[in-house]
């Protein structure tokens, strides 16, 4: 799946927010072409504009041509903008209908993807756990020199197929950005030496204790694996819990921001007040305080750029749209739409 196709639903949702902020359809294109949160969309729109200038075409004609060759949500967005520019009409209503249609399609796609991921996960379980045991039982029944040699090879093949299935299932998950790379590196650097030390110490000890000598390889290796896996898993779970809390807490935060904007405050003021008066969970509260402090010191753009590597892509994009809407002087209704977008996506 191309990056443009992955980002096009968010481009459509961002276009809805910009439309409710009062922008014309072509102005929506201009703002999307500068949106750092959607790099593939930005590059594609810049390419369209560059090709249009070379061919000396009008902007609407260029969008119509691109829409004919596009697919999915990207085609819907381009054709809607071109149609609004050609015939006029209710810009907000058109984008609202487009948004609702896209969310219905996204839900159906996500359900189908979840079903496929479950199938691959079950297959990986069968390949990695059930199939090897079954093969060992069968080989034990028909034990011979030839079948004994097959056991390690079949086990390795089952493990390899299980890993491949896991990677295939993981590749189907929605793109949230490179959030776990640093965590994996930290786990490897922190716990691999400990695991190696545990395995070596136990191996040497077992080698000098007669009644444990026959276990000098098996138990130390298993202990080393446990010394690496258990604390690594706990650290990963803590990190994942923090990200999940931020991800699922963002819709409530955006809804509260919309309420504060309706009372006459700016989004930045609303975030500052909510960081003091409301609680969304320990991880979300720490993130919100950090965001407010960085926005005060650096401004919204720089603050988001610094936090981008640590945020789910959906959260980063929604916050970017929040500050864009503030810069455009959007009405309170716009922030309600943004809250609806993030709530539906989450």
User: How far is CA 171 from its chain centroid?
Assistant: 11
Domain boundaries, position 191: 176-346
DSSP state of 217: T
pLDDT tens digits for range 21-32? 888 888 888 888
Q: Is 185 exposed, middle or buried (0-12, 13-18, 19+ CB in 10 A)?
A: exposed
DSSP letters, 110-152, are HHHHHHHHHHHHHHHHIIIIIHHHHHHHHHHHT--HHHHHHHH
Q: Using H for helix, E for strand and C for coil, what is the string for 281-340?
A: CHHHHHHHHHHHHHHHHHCHHHHHHHHHHHCCHHHHHHHHHHHHHHHCCCCHHHHHHHHH
Total domain count for the chain?
2
Q: Is 156 exposed, middle or buried (0-12, 13-18, 19+ CB in 10 A)?
A: exposed
Q: Is the pTM of this model over 0.85?
A: no
Query: Is residue 301 a part of any domain in this protein?
Result: yes
pLDDT band at 93 (very low <50, low <70, confident <90, very high): confident
Residue 216 sits in the same domain as residue 335: yes
Buried b (16+ CB within 10 A) or exposed e, 245-263: bbbbbbbbbbbbbbbbbee
Residue 174 has pLDDT above 70, yes or no: no
Backbone angles phi, psi at 177, to 5 degrees: 95, 165
Range with the lowest mean pLDDT among 64-78, 97-111, 185-199, 239-253? Answer: 97-111
Query: Is residue 109 a part of any domain in this protein?
Result: no
Residue 1 has pLDDT above 50, yes or no: no
Q: Are 320 and 38 in contact (CB under 8 A)?
A: no
Q: Are 20 and 344 in contact (CB under 8 A)?
A: no
Domain boundary among 34, 54, 89: 89
Higher pLDDT, 281 or 146: 281
Residue 83 sits in the same domain as residue 191: no
Query: Is residue 167 a part of any domain in this protein?
Result: no
pLDDT band at 170 (very low <50, low <70, confident <90, very high): low
């Amino acid at each position: 799946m191309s990056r443009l196709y992955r980002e096009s639903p968010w481009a459509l949702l961002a276009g809805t927010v910009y439309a409710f902020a009062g922008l014309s359809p072509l102005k929506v294109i201009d703002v999307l072409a500068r949106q750092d949160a959607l790099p593939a969309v930005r590059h594609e729109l810049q390419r369209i504009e560059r090709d249009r200038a070379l061919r000396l075409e009008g902007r609407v004609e260029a969008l119509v041509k691109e829409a004919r060759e596009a697919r999915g949500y990207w085609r819907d967005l381009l054709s809607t903008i071109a149609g609004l520019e050609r015939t006029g009409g209710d810009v907000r209503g058109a984008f609202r209908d487009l948004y609702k249609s896209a969310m219905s399609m996204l839900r159906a796609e996500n359900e189908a993807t979840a079903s496929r991921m479950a199938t691959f996960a079950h297959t990986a379980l069968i390949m990695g756990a059930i199939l090897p045991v079954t093969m060992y039982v069968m080989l034990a029944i028909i034990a011979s020199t030839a079948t004994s040699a097959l056991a390690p090879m079949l086990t390795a093949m089952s493990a390899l197929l299980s890993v491949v299935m896991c990677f295939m299932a993981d590749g189907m998950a929605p793109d949230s950005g490179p959030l776990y790379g640093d965590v994996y590196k930290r786990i490897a650097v922190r716990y691999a030496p400990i695991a190696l030390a545990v395995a070596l110490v136990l191996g040497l000890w077992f080698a000098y204790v007669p009644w444990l000598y026959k276990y000098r390889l098996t138990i130390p290796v298993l202990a080393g694996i446990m010394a690496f896996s258990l604390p690594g898993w706990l650290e990963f779970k803590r990190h994942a819990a923090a990200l999940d809390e931020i991800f699922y807490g963002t819709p409530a935060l955006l809804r509260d921001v919309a309420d504060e904007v309706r009372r006459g405050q700016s989004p930045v003021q609303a975030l500052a007040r909510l960081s003091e008066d409301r609680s969304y969970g320990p991880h979300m509260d720490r993130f919100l305080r950090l965001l407010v402090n960085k926005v005060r010191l650096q401004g919204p753009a720089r603050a988001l750029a610094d936090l981008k590597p640590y945020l789910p892509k959906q959260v980063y994009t929604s916050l970017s749209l929040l500050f864009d809407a503030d810069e455009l002087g959007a009405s309170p209704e716009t922030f309600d739409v943004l809250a609806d977008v993030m709530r539906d996506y989450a």
